[in-house]
Amino acid sequence: MQDYLEVATKIAYEAGTIMKEVFAQGVAHTIKSDHSPVTDADKRINELVIQRIGQAYPTDSVLGEEGREMQESSHTWVCDPIDGTAAFMRGIPVSVFSLALVVDGEPQIGVVYDPHLDRLYTASKGGGAFMNGTPILTAENTELAHSYIETDGHSGFKNLSFFERALAADVRLLSFSSTIYAHMLVATGQIQGVVFPRTSPWDAASAKIIVEEAGGTTSDVHGKNQRYDRDISGLVSSCSEAFHKNLLALIAPSV
């Protein structure tokens, strides 16, 4: 997997260069059919990934948010060119590049690059998780009280009772523009959990392996494993297995 990780890392730095250039110049955007924003940088980076993977691994598939190149292959590279586009286009430095190699539905390597802080998060199956080459670990919390949990507002929840229960349990709720950025905070032990009832594989594949290799636990919103090369049933990540069990119980009536 080391060769794959090296290729993904090179792509991440190339993507970061594009992000920094466009961010410094001011970001124009359009609105897609699903009402989400997209910038020229998103499209350029997505095409960059397709080109670089095609050169290095021509039989592999690429599943990107802004474009895909699918092959008859068990290996799929899942990419979010800019996770946090809404913040990116407003000049708010909370956005990352994400790329994961998914084999038979399971992430095997993950690379996330935050060009604003020059932080590179990497992980490979069984090889641990790192930020700029230094090992990272999740927090050791087991209980919900006094924990910090990130969620994308009320999006994807069937009802708002989750928020009432979270407040009653003395949980601090946060919300960032970037899903994957939030999962990296779990991986580095800065927050304890992330709940996204409705998300896409490109918002989840790299997060899953990096959080798990840092010592955390992930699942869909019902506590089940899932494939990450197709539509998914949300993503929940936690700092520990015990915390994950408590977090799933907290969200269950709302998902």
28-69, pLDDT tens digit by residue?
777 766 667 788 899 999 999 999 999 999 999 999 887 787
pTM of the model: 0.95
Output the pLDDT for position 78.
98
Output the pLDDT for position 70.
79
Dihedral sign of CA atoms 207, 150, 233, 137 in order: positive
Please give, one letter per residue, the 3-state secondary structure of 122-180.
EEECCCEEEECCEECCCCCCCCCCCCEEEECCCCCCCCCHHHHHHHHCCCEEECCCCHH
Fold (CATH) for 148-254: D-Maltodextrin-Binding Protein; domain 2 (3.40.190)
Output the pLDDT for position 39.
82
Output the pLDDT for position 113.
99
Low-confidence stretches of the chain (pLDDT < 50) are none
Output the pLDDT for position 35.
67
Output the pLDDT for position 241.
98
- CATH 3.40.190.80 in the chain is located at 148-254
- CATH 3.30.540.10 in the chain is located at 2-134
Fold (CATH) for 2-134: Fructose-1,6-Bisphosphatase; Chain A, domain 1 (3.30.540)
